[in-house]
Amino acid sequence: MYDFPAKGVIFKDLTTVFKDPRALHIIGWDLSQLYRDKGVTKVVGIESRGFIGGSILAFELGAGFVPARKPGKLPADTVRAEYKKEYGVDVIEIHRDAITEDDIVVIHDDVLATGGTMAAVYKLVESMHPKKIYVNFIIELTSLNGREHLPKDVEVTSLIAY
């Protein structure tokens, strides 16, 4: 989709894939196989399409689900990070008590584009000092070099590199 959400932005959307039951099942299965033996206790899903894959992943792994949301959407005390997007500045929040030092966390979003949102959520989760953090996407848009904005020592996986 062109010029969404702002003029000049080319938006990649997976909602048409999510409506297909078989495709959704395959995505959930493939995501869970990446982390089945890693002891994951929490999955952080990034608003809003990251909630879909993240919830499925958490369910498949028997882990808890933590939403990373836009400001004012979470009811309890939150921590927040500001970050730049290709079309402006944004803020993301998670509950202050969502992650503990005993947790092994996967942060999930549907698409890795420029990496700004994931980098901000990674910093929030890292500030809570979990044992380990993994980063995951369904699709990675390699031409946008989003991995460059993520820590070099974090394991980043994508089901599809495009």
The predicted structure's pLDDT at residue 35: 98
7 assigned to some structural domain: no
pTM of the model: 0.92
Q: What is the pLDDT of residue 43?
A: 98
CA angle, corner 51, sides to 116 and 90, nearest 5?
30
Residue 125 inside a domain? The answer is yes
- Give the three-class secondary structure for 26: helix
CA-angle at 124, arms to 5 and 106, nearest 5°: 85
CA distance 140 to 136: 9
Flag whether 77 is in a domain: yes
**Of the listed 36, 82, 86, 148, which one is catalytic?**
86
Most distant CA atoms of the chain, gap in Å: 43
d(CA 55, CA 45): 7
- What radius of gyration, in Å, describes the C-alpha atoms of the chain? 15
C-alpha pair distances (Å), 3 with each of 14, 31, 103: 17, 30, 39
CA distance 86 to 66: 25
Average pLDDT per run of 10 along the chain, which is 162 residues long? 53 80 96 98 96 97 98 96 83 98 98 94 98 98 95 97 93
Asked, for residue 6, whether it belongs to a domain, the answer is: no
Q: Pick the closest to residue 135 from 22, 60, 23, 57 (CA basis).
A: 57
Q: What pLDDT, on a 0 to 100 scale, did the predictor assign at position 8? A: 57
Known catalytic membership, residue 36? no
For residue 24, is it within any domain? yes
Verify whether residue 86 is a known catalytic residue.
yes
Q: What is the pLDDT of residues 61-91, one digit of tens each?
A: 999 999 999 999 999 999 999 998 766 789 9
Q: Indicate the number of domains in the chain.
A: 1
Parent domain of 131 = 15-161
Instruction: Report the pLDDT value the prediction gives residue 12, as an integer from 0 to 100.
Output: 59
**What is the predicted pLDDT for the residue at 86?**
67
The whole-number pLDDT of residue 66 equals 98
The answer to whether position 5 is within a domain reads: no
Return the number of other C-beta atoms located less than 10 Å from residue 148's C-beta. 10
Question: Does residue 9 sit within a domain?
Answer: no
Q: What is the structure's pLDDT at 146?
A: 95
pLDDT score of 6 = 58
Choose the catalytic residue: 49, 69, 140, 147: 49
**CATH (domain of 118):** 3.40.50.2020
Give a yes or no: residue 3 inside a domain. no
